[in-house]
Amino acid sequence: MDASARFVSRPLHVTDCVHCPLRHSTLLEPLTLSKLKEVHQGLHSLQCFIPAKQYLYTATDRVHDLFVVYRGWVILYQDLKDGARQIQRIALAGDLITPSLDPKVPAMHNAQAVTDVQICAFPLHDLTRALQSTPELSIKLSQLYQEQMRLCQEHITNIGRKSAEERIAYLLLELCNRVRQRTETSDESIELPLTQEQIADCVGLTPIHVNRIFRQLREKGLIEMTRRRLVMRNENALIDLAQFEPQVVV
């Protein structure tokens, strides 16, 4: 199915997208929301609203756009034959979602809104033109890809070589860090709209085991989890446990 059809069949508010990292050309500028609020450079885009649990596209879709999340959480995941599911990436505000750069190639994964989501869609055709006319844009795009790759590779290390406890601690710290960068705060608690099942699908465990680990972490006094909210009770201990290396953003 064609993903653009999927779009227009859903409630959507089209306005100008005034918050978008693609407008920033400075090398390795951190992608905070305040930084995002700058001037548009004339790149065509549509801002869309996607309600929670709806799909941005699915694995077989041929997508003609590159997306930038403006608000909300999006999970990118793959379904396996046996019913299992692996969340490959969690996209937050300011993150790029690029199912493919070739509209003939299907996305191979699903993109689903966890919360209500606002995104900007950039038609690939316009993007290609913009890249040719605006070199800063292409450099920015490379940086975004690079940052994505880094997270992706850390995710691989996390899933491949760490215990359940370490994996979950790491995921929580990473998400916490990313949320803080975006809100420019350093609260010890954040909104965490993921279910335990989604966390399990992210780190490659079963929801039952995720629950066991959460209890452990709670009993050790490291975290507290109320509904949709995560409190880091002892962040240093958690960092130590997870072998987490907060990225030094220069």
Partner DNA sequence: CGGGTATTTGACGACTGTCAACGCCAGTGG
Partner DNA sequence: CCACTGGCGTTGACAGTCGTCAAATACCCG
Residues of the shown chain interacting with its own copies in the complex, contacts defined by CB under 8 A: 27-28, 76, 78, 80-81, 84-86, 88-89, 98, 100-102, 104-105, 108-109, 128, 131-133, 135-136, 138-139, 141-143, 145-146, 148-150, 152-157, 159-162, 203-204, 243, 245, 247-248, 250
Q: Which does 189 bind (CB under 5 to 8 A by kind): its own copies, DNA, none?
A: none
Q: Is 164 in the site for DNA (CB under 7 A)?
A: yes
Q: How far is the CB of 240 from DNA (least distance, A)?
A: 17
Q: What are the tokens at 117?
A: 């989501």
* CA–CA gap between residue 73 and residue 116 (Å, rounded): 8
Binding mask 202-231 for DNA (x = CB under 7 A): --xxxxxx-xx-xx---------x-x----
Q: CB-based contacts of 206: which residues, under 8 Å, 6+ apart?
A: 200
Report if residue 165 touches DNA, rule: CB under 7 A: yes
Tokens of 50: 């996607």
- Residue 146 makes CB contacts below 8 A (sequence gap 6+) with none
Three-state DSSP state, 7: helix
Report the partner that residue 80 touches, choosing among its own copies, DNA, none (CB closer than 5 to 8 A by kind).
its own copies
**What is the distance between the alpha carbons of residues 216 and 214, in angstroms, rounded to a whole number?**
5
Beta-sheet strand order (sheet of 223-226): 189-191, 229-232, 223-226
- Burial category of 48 from C-beta neighbours within 10 Å (exposed 0-12, middle 13-18, buried 19 and up): buried
What is the smallest separation between the CB atom of 155 and its own copies, expressed in angstroms?
Answer: 6
Closest to DNA by CB, 197 vs 235, is: 197
Q: Closest CB to DNA among 180 and 209?
A: 209
Estimate the crossing angle of helix 164-183 against helix 207-219, to 10 degrees.
80
Residue 88 interaction partner, one of its own copies, DNA, none, beta carbon < 5-8 Å per kind: its own copies
- 3-state DSSP call for residue 234? coil
Whole-number minimum distance, CB 211 to its own copies, in Å?
18
Compute the least distance from the CB of residue 227 to its own copies, in Å. 26
Sheet holding 55-57, edge to edge: 55-57, 110-113, 74-79, 85-91
Which option in its own copies, DNA, none does residue 85 bind, with CB closer than 5 to 8 A by kind? its own copies
Residue with Cβ nearer DNA (123 or 204)? 204
Minimum distance from CB of 139 to DNA (Å)?
A: 40
First to last CA, the chain: 42
Q: Which residues contribute to the site for DNA (CB under 7 A)?
A: 163-165, 195-197, 204-209, 211-212, 214-215, 225, 227
